[in-house]
Structure 1
Amino acid sequence: CKVLVVGGGTGGCSTGAKLSRILKKNELIILEPSDSHYYQPLFTLVGGGVYKVADARKNMGDVLPRNATWLKDQAAEFSPKSNSVVTAKGDTIEYDFILVATGLQTDYDKIPGLIEALNMDNGGVGSNYSYKYTERTFKALNNFESGNAIFTYPNTPVKCPGAPQKICYIADHYLRKVGKRNNANIMYNTSLPVIFGVKKYADALWKYSMMHVTPPMSSPSPLKKCTDLVNEAGFVDVNPATMQSSRFPNVF
Structure 2
Amino acid sequence: MHHPEDPKHPEIEKALARQADETLRGLSRRDFLKIAGAAGLVSATGVQAAPARAAVSSQARIVVLGGGAAGMTMAARLRDLLDGARITIVEPSEIHHYQPGWTLVAAGVYSVGEVQRRNERYIPRGVEWVRSAVAAIDPESQRVETTDGDRLDYDFLVVATGLHLDYEAIEGLRREDIGRPGLTSLYASAEAARDAYEQIHAFGEHGGVARFTIPSTPIKCAGAPIKATFIADDLLRTAGQRAGADFHYHTGSDTLFSVQRFDHMVRDLYAERGVSVNDGGALLAVDVDARQAQFQTRDGGRETVDYDYLHVTPPMRAHDFVREAGLAVEDGPLAAGGWLAVDDRTLQHTDYPNIFGAGDVVATAIGKTASTVRSHGAVMPDNLVDVIQDREPSRQFDGYTSCPLITEVGKAALVEFDYSLEEVPTFAFLDQGAPSWMWWRLKVHMIKPLYFNMLRGRYLR
TM-score above 0.5: yes
Q: Specify the alignment match of 1:37 in structure 2.
A: 96
**1:60 counterpart residue number:** 119
What is the distance in 2 between the residues matched to 1:174 and 1:80? 50
Unaligned residue ranges in structure 1 (runs of 5+): none
**Which stretch of the first structure deviates more once superposed, 54-63 or 3-12?**
54-63
Partner of residue 231, structure 1:
329
Which letter maps to 1:214? T
Q: Check if 1:210 corresponds to 2:309.
A: yes
Q: Assess, with a 3 A threshold, how the Cα gap between structure 1 residues 201 and 94 changes in structure 2: closer, same or farther.
A: closer
Question: What is the Cα deviation at residue 25 of structure 1?
Answer: 6.1
1:246 paired with 2:345, answer no
Secondary structure class of the residue paired with 1:114: coil
Distance 1:38 1:47 in 2: 15
| Match runs of 1:121-160 below 5 Å | 123-131=181-189, 132-145=191-204, 146-160=207-221
Please give the alpha-carbon distance, in whole angstroms, between the structure 1 residues aligned to 2:351 and 2:315.
Answer: 28
**CA RMSD after TM alignment:** 2.2
What's the offset of the Cα at 1:57? 0.7
SS in 1 for 2:63: strand
1:161 and 2:222 equivalent? yes
Change (3 A) 1:59 1:163: same
* Equivalent position to 2:164, from 105, 127, 143: 105
8 Å CA contact 1:24, 1:67 repeated in 2: no
Deviations 1:134-154 (CA, angstroms, capped at 9, x unpaired): 222112111122121111111
Work out whether residues 86 and 92 of structure 1, in 8 Å CA contact, stay in contact via their aligned partners in 2: yes
**Post-superposition shift, 1:103?**
0.4
Task: Tell me the TM-score normalised to structure 2 length.
Answer: 0.50
Contact 2:99–2:115 under 8 Å retained in 1: yes
- Provide the residue aligned with 1:81 in structure 2: 140
Offset at residue 117 of structure 1 (A): 3.9
Larger deviation, residues 16-25 vs 29-38: 16-25
Alignment of 1:154-193 (within 5 A): 154-191=215-252, 192-193=281-282
Partners of 1:199 and 1:158 in 2: CA distance: 22
With the length of structure 1 as denominator, give the TM-score of the two structures.
0.90
Aligned length: 247
Give the conservation status (yes or no) of the 8 Å contact 2:62–2:85: no
Query: Any unmatched runs of 5+ in structure 2?
Result: 1-59, 253-280, 283-294, 357-461
User: Which protein has the bigger helix share?
Assistant: 2
Contact 1:150 1:186 in 2 (8 A): yes
Tell me if structure 2 keeps the 8 A contact 1:47–1:135.
yes
Cα-to-partner distance string for 1:101-134 (whole Å, 9 max, x where unaligned): 00011122222333364243xx011111122522
Change in Cα spacing, 1:94 to 1:20, as seen in structure 2 (3 Å) is same
SS of residue paired to 2:246:
strand
Conserved? CA contact 1:26–1:68, under 8 Å: no
- Output the CA distance in 2 between the equivalents of 1:53 and 1:247: 41
SS at match of 1:4: strand
Q: Is the 8 A contact 2:178 2:188 kept in 1?
A: no
| CA–CA separation in structure 2 for the residues paired with 1:3 and 1:124 | 45
Percent identical pairs in the alignment equals 37
